[in-house]
Chain A
Amino acid sequence: DAKTTQPPSMDCAEGRAANLPCNHSTISGNEYVYWYRQIHSQGPQYIIHGLKNNETNEMASLIITEDRKSSTLILPHATLRDTAVYYCIVRGAGYALNFGKGTSLLVTP
């Protein structure tokens, strides 16, 4: 499975957009990009996933580059409750997810 690289931490002001980058240069054609987040002492929460096209749901948008080697998760209006560790995972559909260290996002007032 492809390895991902994320910055260890990021800050974002409340109400502003949070843009979380992820590099996955070794992604293969049948692998999806998944984003999950984990708030302290809770199970991971599914955010969004995509294969090739950009995706949007009620939580976030996922922008995948044309070559699929990187992606960006966008939280359009970050709130304090969005403070969490965000994981970018590349994996084939249906397989177990391998969690790296993720990005610790701190949303400040």
Chain B
Amino acid sequence: GAVVSQHPSRVICKSGTSVKIECRSLDFQATTMFWYRQFPKQSLMLMATSNEGSKATYEQGVEKDKFLINHASLTLSTLTVTSAHPEDSSFYICSARVSGGAETQYFGPGTRLLVL
């Protein structure tokens, strides 16, 4: 199957700082990427849908000014957590949908964020 990478795999930062997470589709182009987060012992929750060259669509309750998403190319989407607080500590996971109407989404390995 297709490969999606995320960087970094884990990050620790101080409260109030910003953290950028990259999501790359390594062997295919992805018009659409999705960002999820997962708190301990819970399931994945969709945060936003990222379309190449346009603004992201955020789910209800997700602050667009706090979670900045940029999808500047067909292989890269970035999520920036601005002014991070301890409650933003979570497992952030992206997925990418193969361009051209394919039905399958492939997930990255996830980024574990810890805000102190």
Residue of B45, B105, B109, B112 ringed by the most chain A CB atoms within 10 A: B105
CA distance A33 to B93 in the complex (A): 21
**CB-defined contacts of B34 to chain A, threshold 8 Å:** 96-97
Q: What is the chain A residue whose CB lies nearest that of B106?
A: A46
Taking chain B's interface residues, is the majority helix, strand, or loop, or is none over half, making it mixed?
Answer: strand
- Specify which chain B residues have a CB less than 8 angstroms from the CB of A99 in the assembled complex: 36, 43-45
Size of the B side of the interface (Cβ < 8 Å), in residues, is 26
B residues with CB within 8 A of A: 1, 4, 6, 32, 34, 36, 43-46, 49, 91, 93, 95, 97, 101-110, 112
List 6 A-B pairs, minimum CB-CB distance, nearest first: A43-B107, A93-B103, A99-B44, A99-B43, A43-B110, A44-B107
Question: A: which residues have CB within 8 A of B?
Answer: 32, 34, 36, 38, 41-46, 49, 87, 93-94, 96-102
